[in-house]
Amino acid sequence: MALFTKIVLFTDTDGRARFREETLALEQGSPQARLSELFASGGYQLRTSPVGFRSQFHCSGYTQWVFILQGQMEIGIQDGVSRIFKPGDHFYSADLLPEGQPFDPALHGHWSRQLGPDPLITLFVRA
């Protein structure tokens, strides 16, 4: 069976952002073109970030897929771990502020930044 590795940025039970990997079965389609089940989406947005861009700690406003189309994107979380995503890479952003909690930049969220000589172009697909 063909599998797809889904990288997930999520809010753990302690309110902190973490990364984990999940596998999705590609059970539909044909042997030459394996497909997952069909997932719903709520629209998409394209974003460009200039060379030198860096955000502050923040939480995602929505659960969404993030696909890197150009440049490189680094995502860092509170425990000091970071991951670099290059063109063709993806992650599923589900790092949402826990319900009823005020945002605390010392506890919640992640930061992102553009790396390398090329502007960052990303595609966000709401889940």
Total residues found in the chain within this entry: 127
**In terms of residue numbers, what domain contains 98?**
2-126
DSSP codes, 31-94: TTEEE--------EEEEEE-TT-B--SB--SS-EEEEEEESEEEEEETTS-EEEE-TT-EEEEE
**Strand pairing partners for 4?**
24
**Can you give the CATH number for the domain in which 67 is found?**
2.60.120.10
- 62: CB partners within 8 A, 6+ apart: 42, 96, 126, 127
| Residue 89 near residue 68, CB atoms below 8 Å | yes
Q: Yes or no: say if 73 and 121 are a contact pair by the CB < 8 Å rule.
A: no
Condensed to tens digits (0 to 9), the pLDDT of residues 82-99 reads: 999 999 999 999 999 999
Pairing status of strand 44-49 against strand 120-126: antiparallel
pLDDT cut 90: percent of the chain above it: 99
Maximum CA pair distance of the chain?
Answer: 49
- Tens-place pLDDT, residues 41-94: 999 999 999 999 999 999 999 999 999 999 999 999 999 999 999 999 999 999
Digit-coded pLDDT (tens) for 14-24? 999 999 999 99
Q: Tell me if 89 sits within 8 A of 12, measured CB to CB.
A: no
Number of structural domains in the chain:
1
96's enclosing H/E stretch is none
Average pLDDT score over the chain? 97
Whether residue 1 is predicted with pLDDT greater than 90 in this model: the reply is: no
Query: Is the whole-model pTM more than 0.85?
Result: yes
